[in-house]
Amino acid sequence: MKKTVYREYYEAILVAFILALFVRTFVFENFKIPSGSMEDNLLIGDHLVVNKFLYSTNWETFLHRLLPYRGPQRGDVVVFKYPENPRRDFIKRCIAVAGDRVEIRGKQLWLNGEMVDEPYVVFKDDQIWGGGPGVPARFRSRDNFGPYVVPEDSIFCLGDNRDNSLDSRFWGPVPLSYVKGRAVLIYWSYEAKRNDWKWQGIGHRARQLGEVFLHFFTRTRWERQFRLIH
Q: Where are the domains of the chain?
A: 28-228
Q: How many helices (H) and strands (E) does the chain have?
A: 4, 12
Q: Is the dihedral of CA 34, 35, 37, 42 positive or negative?
A: positive
CA-CA distance, 154 to 165, in Å (whole number)? 19
Tens digit of each residue's pLDDT, the chain (230 residues): 445 656 555 545 555 445 445 445 445 577 888 888 999 899 999 999 888 877 865 455 555 555 567 889 999 999 999 999 999 999 999 999 999 999 999 999 999 999 999 999 999 998 888 777 778 877 888 999 989 999 999 999 999 999 999 999 999 999 999 999 899 899 889 888 776 666 677 776 687 778 878 888 888 899 998 899 99
Asked if the peptide bond before residue 196 counts as cis, ω within 30 degrees of 0, the response is no
37 catalytic? Reply is yes
Determine the pLDDT at residue 97. 96
Determine the pLDDT at residue 140. 83
| Residue at 39: amino acid letter | E
DSSP secondary structure letters along 21-78: HHIIIIIEEEEE--SSTTTTTS-TTEEEEEE-STT-S-TTSHHHHHS------TT-EE
C-beta separation of 55 from 28 below 8 A: no
CA-CA distance, 101 to 54, in Å (whole number)? 25
189 catalytic? Reply is no
Determine the pLDDT at residue 22. 46
CA distance readout (Å), 50 to 13, 153, 176, 226:
25, 21, 16, 13
DSSP state letter for 162: G
> Exposure pattern of 137-153 as b/e (b: 16+ CB <10 Å)?
eebbbbbbbeebebeee
- Of 35, 52, 56, 92, the catalytic one is 92
C-beta separation of 101 from 111 below 8 A: yes
Determine the pLDDT at residue 54. 77
- Of 37, 56, 154, 189, the catalytic one is 37
C-beta separation of 156 from 100 below 8 A: yes
CATH class of 28-228: mainly beta
Determine the pLDDT at residue 131. 72
* Close Cβ partners of 219 (under 8 Å, ≥ 6 residues apart): 190, 191, 212
| Residue at 104: amino acid letter | I
